[in-house]
Amino acid sequence: MSHMVSATELAELRSSGVRILDVRFRLDQPDGRSDYLEGHIPGAVYVDLESELSRPGRSDEGRHPLPSTERVQDAARSWGLNDGDVVVVYDDYRGLAAARAWWLLSRGGVDVRVLDGGWAEWQAAGGDVETGSAEFTPGTVTLTDIAGDSLTIDEAAAFPESGVLIDARAPERFRGEIEPLDPIAGHIPGAMNLPMGVHLREDGTLRDLDSLRRNFADVGIGDETPVAAYCGSGITAAHTALVLAEVGIDAKIFHGSWSQWSNTPGRPIAKGEHTS
């Protein structure tokens, strides 16, 4: 089963009571509520990534620490979710924030999918638009443990010994040439660079499955390869996990990612290209 839906498929699902979550978030505009109020998919509930899909934490926990199951469950209930609901999530920037919601909710046992191409694809397809806030009744969904596939910093350090650890950031950040957000430039020793952008077409939709499989094969990943992903703060890594799921490969995530690694004294730093 695909973890993605097209705009056409979502339009058809709306008549079946699907729940829709709007998870707009960008680094330059972390609060997407104003954009949501100006226009969203009818019935969509706004989700705040910073406060509902993350939690406050120390610098050595990373910029988007993993929230507790209880925190996400409380948020999901406030969005009106109930056990058995089918959920579709979307955002307006490359599917990154939507993938974070997909990761947490799917690990919690929710049947959740991502709108391929997000808000832009919905508009391009001529989908209906609603303004203001959606009305809904709080739900009673129960989530299971969401942290089972999340690596600790020590597990991330050891992972290249037994599998492929993907660094999903831009190549120049991986090589340590620049670092706009975190205190030290470079990457985790043994990691392989596979920027998330290689999986997307120009319109922001996913490339075909054969292309995606080739991307992963290029860094040594096959159907049976243990895989984990990290990025700057754990958001983009969820997108890599989503793409891996589309080709049938389960992945773990190091949620603390480079923001935790680079803020933890004594951690080794690698620079330059990876070797394979």
As annotated, the active-site residues are: 231
Burial of 178 (0-12, 13-18, 19+ CB in 10 A): exposed
SS3 assignment, position 211: helix
Q: Which two tokens stand for residue 80?
A: 């009106």
Query: How many Å apart are CA 224 and CA 250, to the nearest integer?
Result: 9
How far is C-alpha 104 from the chain's CA centre?
9
Instruction: List 167's β-bridge partners, or say none.
Output: 193, 230
Q: Do residues 249 and 221 lie in contact, with contact meaning Cβ atoms separated by under 8 Å?
A: yes
Q: Which two tokens stand for residue 31?
A: 């609060």
CA angle 130, 11, 146 (to 5 degrees): 90
